[in-house]
Amino acid sequence: MSFLNVFFGPGGKPEINLANICSAGADPVFTGTQLANCQFLASDIKTCQAAGKIVTISLGGASGGGTFANNTQAASFADQIWDIFLGGTSSTRPFGAAVLDGVDLDIETGSQSFVPFVSRLRTHMNGASKKYYITAAPQCPYPDSALGTTLNSVSFDALYVQFYNNPCGLTHYNDGSYTWNFGVWDYWARNTSPNKNVKVYIGAPGGKSGASSGYVPLEALQTIVKDTARNFPSFGGIMLWDASQANMNGGLDKAIKATLNGGKTCGGTYTYQALPLLSTLLDLRSPMEGTNGTLGITHQELQWGVTTAMPGGLSSLAHLARATVDEQDDFLLPTKHRSSGRFKYLRQGDATNLWR
């Protein structure tokens, strides 16, 4: 449910805006606060949970959220979220006796660490009798500018990566630009994330007006889903923004669910070769030229070279690095040779022979 859009409102309580479902502007609020009383939703939430659906509250949004003065305030806010929405107790519970299943972080501005907040929530959740979830919705450019540090520092159960309103969006899938980068997030999930079992979801617009860019019609989305599920072990499913858009778009949500239910997953057998010298990977911020035997490849050629052998150039591991190569250093890249299709490690002296 989206969004908890104000962290610290009147009375020290957060505020929620569930659009036309429930908000402070249209529904009663708890005395001395702007926290909407949405307890009429409690039975609906319980019905969904009884059907096996996970119901969480999303914090932030495109223009929502807040900042913490210090780590103590971040931890205290986690305590408040636990009491108001999850397994704690409070006289100001917007959904009454309904206990949500977790929290989602859709933080799209700033760069503040949410590590103290997530860590305190995990402490509460780990001592609970039921399973709780912590998820996030980063933008597809890696690393995410708002949550990058947090994602690398604490455990998340799933990421709903926003492959829309971004240059790495769904419309660039298999278009020759090598900007569609689900593979980068898959690599992150299985090699960098504190939780190596984290699932990565494709975030897609539910309809043409669901985002400024990134919308693809159902048939194209089905192809992307099938290819991604087949090739990336961390793939978890599809996130649609938003439910109403998908419903009005011919029931796209039901159609893509049918595709997911009828597909097959990778099974976790694919293994990336390690990148042991990330500090010495090539600088991708501009095209590089070379003469007299020096390295002379374009930005796009290098991206092709380190694109893992997935259909449609699904991932470019080159995006994981922003460094330059010293002429005296060796560098290691998992590289697909054009003639053999095999992966091999390259030393500095081999670089000029890569694309022959």
Helices (H), the chain: 42-50, 71-85, 115-126, 148-153, 182-191, 218-231, 243-248, 252-262, 299-305
> Of the listed 108, 219, 289, 301, which one is catalytic?
108
- Would you say 273 and 336 are in contact if contact means Cβ atoms under 8 Å apart? no
Helix (H) or strand (E) segment spanning residue 160: strand 158-162
219 is an active site residue = no
The 10 Å CB-count burial string (b at 16+, else e) for 174-209 is eeeebbbbbbbbbbbbbeebeeeebbbbbbbbbbee
- Phi/psi for 120 (5° steps) reads -70, -40
As a whole number of angstroms, the longest Cα–Cα distance in the chain is: 76
In this structure, what token pair is assigned to residue 22?
Answer: 């429930």
- In whole angstroms, what is the distance from residue 229 CA to residue 274 CA? 22
- In whole angstroms, what is the distance from residue 352 CA to residue 295 CA? 5
Strands 102-107 and 343-344: unpaired
Read off the amino acid at residue 166: N
DSSP-derived secondary structure for 210-255 = GSSS----HHHHHHHHHHHHHH-TTEEEEEEE-HHHHHHTTSHHHH
Catalytic residues: 108
